[in-house]
Amino acid sequence: MGRAVFLWALLCVAASAETLSVFGAAGYGKTYDDEGNIGNGASAGFGASYQLNRRFSLGGEYALQTNKREFSFATWKGRTQHAAANLFFHFGSGTVRPYLVGGIGAVHHTVLSEPRVLPGSNSASGWGWSGGFGVRGYVTNRVFVRPEVRLWVSSGGINRVVEPLLGTFQFSLGVGYSF
């Protein structure tokens, strides 16, 4: 389901590639549930966006967040994947463009801990939303860097493998290209 949402968003963006941008990003983040921190780890993702006007752009992205936390009695490990459609609000139109971003999409979490910490299935999917801010800084007319801070929160369906509310807090640094 998450792949379908992401592919739909990419097709919408690619259909009118007048001001299309693509990017890749890597970073670090923290994953938590209702009881607190369930681990830190690397994150990576990619996406595309279409500039609707000077202030707004619409995009789609895929992001992967890993998490690992050592306890005295066990190690908690997992992987959370997000596929989302996003709306960006840009401040300014120069070479440095701060923005706010919000999105909604599909979330899939997999528990990788061995031995199993929880009984039953080790993965589940659901829906979630995200919000954050970043800066798009152009280093040439087409190439930009994109530091971003994002909070992803999901609840529906995920409670089979972690207690709701599952969330990830990420910092990432991306590089992109505007057509």
Tens of pLDDT, residues 102-125: 999 998 888 787 665 555 567 778
> Under DSSP, is residue 7 helix (H, G, I), strand (E, B) or coil?
helix
End-to-end CA distance of the chain: 29
**Which residue in this structure is represented by tokens 């709701």?**
164
Question: Does residue 70 or residue 83 have the better pLDDT?
Answer: 83
Q: What is the pLDDT of residue 16?
A: 47
Whether 146 and 173 have beta carbons less than 8 Å apart is answered as yes
For domain 2-178, give the CATH number.
2.40.160.20
Nearest to 2 by CA among 63, 43, 46: 63
Is residue 34 over pLDDT 60?
A: yes
Nearest to 63 by CA among 112, 99, 29: 29
The answer for residues whose C-beta is within 8 angstroms of residue 119's C-beta and 6 or more apart is none
Position 112 scores a pLDDT of: 80
pTM of the model: 0.81
160 vs 174, more confident: 174
